[in-house]
Amino acid sequence: MSLLTKLFGIGGKGGTPPTAQEAIQRLRETEEMLTKKQDFLEKKIDQELATAKKNGTRNKRAALQALKRKKRYEQQLSQIDGTLSTIEFQREALENANTNTEVLKNMGFAAKAMKNAHEKIGIDNVDDLMADIAEQQEVAQEISDAISRPFGAGVDYDEDELLAELEEMEQEELDKDLLEVEGPATVPLPSVPSTSLPSRPAKKKEEEEDEDGMADLQAWAAN
């Protein structure tokens, strides 16, 4: 058993060593106690200093005693400062160690979980899964290609027939253009007027008889 254990009874129940949390809590309690002790000594130092000033040379003996007590308090205060520094350093080291322990514990926990997950999955299962994914992607691509293919794209036509049809269409267009350039073959007759022609004025009866007589005379002379 160590000297500290003998003097202060430090240790867990049944001789088990204390945990980091227990040790940190003890150190914090000790720091709190020593801080209170500091406040007390500082007040005592102020009191002794005031007593020495009050007596001064009029009561040298009382003044000197006050200064001596002041020196002792200052010495105790200095010791407490050193002790607090040591405790603070030890507490910080324990806190860091406790933090590292928790970090390592959690990392170990995560490593076990990862190992368990990998064991459940298995490398063979991963290969099979990736093969299934690749196969399904190929099927999806085939479906996509089939859907996007234009209707009737797979029907074959005779190119000779298509060329003959094209030449026939071009010849029809050429004949049409020639007819437009030459103009119409026959000139259309004028249309019959819809209004009637003006009638000749009626001749006088005497003029008609003279004309008939002249015609008879010419016919006799010719014989």
If one counts the domains in the chain, the total is 1
CA distances from 167 to 47, 174, 178, 180 (A): 128, 10, 17, 20
**Domain containing 49: what range?**
3-111
154 assigned to some structural domain: no
> Does residue 195 lie in a domain region?
no
**Does residue 133 fall inside a structural domain?**
no
Average pLDDT over residues 193-210: 56
Give CA separation, 54 vs 8, 16, 31, 73, in Å: 43, 57, 35, 19
89 within domain boundaries: yes
Q: What is the pLDDT of residues 105-134, one digit of tens each?
A: 899 989 988 888 878 777 777 788 788 888
Whether 10 is covered by a domain: the verdict is yes
What was the pLDDT predicted at 78? 95
Query: Does residue 150 lie in a domain region?
Result: no
pLDDT of 6 above 50: no
Give the CATH number, domain containing residue 47: 1.10.287.1060
* Domain contains 155: no
- Low-confidence winner among 32-41, 42-51, 210-219 (lowest mean pLDDT): 210-219
Decide if 206 is inside a domain: no
